[in-house]
Amino acid sequence: APSDPDLVERARAAKARLGDRVFVLGHHYQRDEVIEFADVTGDSFKLARDAAARPEAEYIVFCGVHFMAESADILTSARQQVILPDLAAGCSMADMATAEQVAECWDVLADAGVADVTVPVSYMNSSADIKAFTGRHGGTICTSSNARRALEWAFDRGEKVLFLPDQHLGRNTAVREMGFSLEDCVVYNPHKPGGGVSAEQLRAAKMILWRGHCSVHGRFSLDSVEDVRARIPGVNVLVHPECKHEVVAAADVVGSTEYIIKALDEAPAGSAWAIGTELNLVRRLAKAHPDKQIVFLDKTVCFCSTMNRIDLPHLVWTLESLADGKVVNRIQVDAETEHFAKLALEQMLALP
């Protein structure tokens, strides 16, 4: 549905009142009505870098989810304030690894005698606590666009990697891009005593995968891939690496949201694409490329409900409050967590 013209006008006016004091970041999964007001759009890696590159902006309004706003707070100066237009915009995957669970896991690894040779690599989609754990133990953060480089960096420093919290990104990167086998991977389940794995399994594994996943990308199945190939002969199946391994293995191309956008920009007219990622982005791509056939990989709709919480009314309220001198929904990571999380985030930004 088209946006309410009154709200559009109010957003414009509030943004004009704020001028350079505000910088609005929009993740590719945001609604069209929000993307319209973003000063920059990107995948989670690009947005983290862009947030850090705006020292003049007093307010960074992050249209995305909580872990992204936390990361922006960590990477920006103390003077800058990071705002999340709806505090309920979390990420179910990030919630799958808590600080307590991860500390317990590290004890299990220590008991198995492998903690000393294990390097933690944590996906951006994790809380600041998990990033701080990663920094404390000499690890790095990664995103879907640099996971391979992060793993190579980690394997230069240790024999094993503890990959948090997305088992699929960890497995897909290790097996599809780095020549590891499925047998090199073991899954640590935080809901089972000892993670549900034996000390022997931990000692034999190269990749210790946390049992987390994205509920949006988890919906795509091998069936959806086979089905679309039968419906659209010659279709290119392009999926995000948060999809299950069998889906990624059956796809033609795999990449982050920024990569997906680039691949479609470069695709020849007349080509057909089935995209396995969040629906706001897929719909925008289909609209932007009328010369190509672009379909959603699954038959049922699949928005990220927490990304979708940021809507135009929340954005207007945020911008108008800031323009009136009232800071709302500030995301602020405490100093100690920030110190260690920053080590891990800066390690990611320094990856070759």
Handedness of CA 68, 73, 74, 80 (dihedral sign): positive
With CB cut-offs between 5 and 8 Å by kind, which of ligand 13P, ligand SF4, none does residue 50 bind? none
Any known ligand binding at 213?
no
Asked if residue 84 lies in contact with residue 331, where contact means CB atoms within 8 angstroms, the answer is yes
With CB cut-offs between 5 and 8 Å by kind, which of ligand SF4, ligand 13P, none does residue 257 bind? ligand 13P
With CB cut-offs between 5 and 8 Å by kind, which of ligand SF4, ligand 13P, none does residue 306 bind? ligand SF4
For residue 91, the Cα-to-chain-centroid distance in whole angstroms is 9
* Residue selected from 24, 33, 43, 171 as contacting ligand 13P according to rule CB under 6 A: 43
Q: Which is nearer to ligand 13P, 26 or 190 (CB)?
A: 26
With CB cut-offs between 5 and 8 Å by kind, which of ligand 13P, ligand SF4, none does residue 44 bind? ligand 13P
* Residue selected from 257, 306, 318, 329 as contacting ligand 13P according to rule CB under 6 A: 257
Handedness of CA 316, 320, 321, 327 (dihedral sign): positive
Q: Which among 41-49, 202-210, 312-320, 338-346 is the span making contact with ligand 13P, rule CB under 6 A? A: 41-49
Of 168, 122, 161, 163, which Cα lies nearest the Cα of 141?
Answer: 122
The least CB distance from residue 155 to ligand 13P, in Å, is 22
CA 327/CA 234 separation, integer angstroms: 52
Residues making contact with ligand SF4 (CB under 6 A): 65, 91-93, 125, 214-216, 242, 278, 304, 306-307
Q: Which is nearer to ligand SF4, 258 or 320 (CB)?
A: 258
Integer angstrom CA distances of residue 171 from 69, 118, 141, 175? 26, 16, 16, 6
Q: Which is nearer to ligand 13P, 214 or 302 (CB)?
A: 214
Any known ligand binding at 5?
no
Q: Report the DSSP beta bridge partners of residue 63.
A: 26
With CB cut-offs between 5 and 8 Å by kind, which of ligand SF4, ligand 13P, none does residue 318 bind? none
Binding of ligand 13P by 144 (CB under 6 A): yes
Any known ligand binding at 123?
yes
* Residue selected from 41, 81, 125, 173 as contacting ligand 13P according to rule CB under 6 A: 125
* Residue selected from 41, 44, 80, 81 as contacting ligand 13P according to rule CB under 6 A: 44
Binding of ligand 13P by 127 (CB under 6 A): no
With CB cut-offs between 5 and 8 Å by kind, which of ligand SF4, ligand 13P, none does residue 215 bind? ligand SF4
Token pair in block for residue 265: 């920009």
With CB cut-offs between 5 and 8 Å by kind, which of ligand SF4, ligand 13P, none does residue 92 bind? ligand SF4
CA 330/CA 61 separation, integer angstroms: 9
Token pair in block for residue 296: 């959603």
How many residues of this chain interact with ligand 13P, rule: CB under 6 A? 12
Q: Which is nearer to ligand 13P, 232 or 351 (CB)?
A: 351
The least CB distance from residue 170 to ligand 13P, in Å, is 14
Any known ligand binding at 336?
no
**Site residues (vs ligand 13P, CB under 6 A):** 28, 43-45, 91, 125, 143-144, 214, 242, 256-257
Residue numbers belonging to the annotated binding site for [4Fe-4S] cluster:
91, 214, 304
